[in-house]
Structure 1
Amino acid sequence: MAERQDFDPGEFADQLTAMADDELFRLMQDLEKESEDVAIEARETSDAFEKIALVETAIEDRFPGQLLAPYKEWRQRRTTV
C-alpha cells in the first residue's frame, strides 16, 4: 500500500477528472474495500482515506446537489444484476 509521502493529491485529482463516471464509481468501490483492510495503527500512513475524500468531491462536482446518490445508485444496480 502506498504511503502518504508517495501520494500527490493534485495529480490524483487530475486523473479523476479524466475518468468516465463508471471508472470513477469503480475506483470508489475499490477504495472503500481497501480502506476496510487498513489496520487502525496504519491509518496515519495510508492514503486510502484521502483518496476516498477526493473521489467523493469529484462525484459531488459532477453531480451537483446529489451528494453521493449517483454512486449509491450505481452500486445498487450492480448488486441487483
Structure 2
Amino acid sequence: MAERQDFDAREFADHLAAMTDEELFILMQDVEGESDDIAVEARGTSDVFAKIALVETAVEDRFPGQLLAPYKEWRQRTTV
C-alpha cells in the first residue's frame, strides 16, 4: 500500500475537528482496517498509525474522561 509522503498532521487534525461524531468513528474504523494490511516491515514509514493516534485524540477530546468508549459502543451498535 502506497502512503502519502507529504502527510500533514496539523491539516489532518483540522479536518477531524470539522467531522461529525459519525464521520470520525467511520474514519477510525477505516484506519484501523488499513493498519491490519500494513506489513510489519513497513510500519515505521506508514502514516496510518499517526492517523489512528490523531483520531483517538479527537475522540477523547470530544468525550472527556471516556477514552474510546463512545467509539467502541458505536462499533457494537453498527456491527450486527
- Residue correspondences, number: 79
Give SS of 1:65's match: coil
Aligned residue number for residue 2 of structure 1: 3
Q: Which runs of 5+ in 1 are unaligned?
A: none
Runs of at least 4 residues off by over 3 Å:
none
Aligned residue number for residue 60 of structure 2: 60
- How far the C-alpha of 1:44 sits from its partner, in A, is 1.1
TM-score computed with the length of structure 2 as normaliser: 0.95
TM-score computed with the length of structure 1 as normaliser: 0.94
Aligned residue number for residue 24 of structure 1: 24
2-structure distance, mates of 1:37, 1:27: 16
Q: Which structure carries more helix by proportion?
A: 1
2-structure distance, mates of 1:38, 1:2: 10
Q: AA paired with 1:40?
A: V
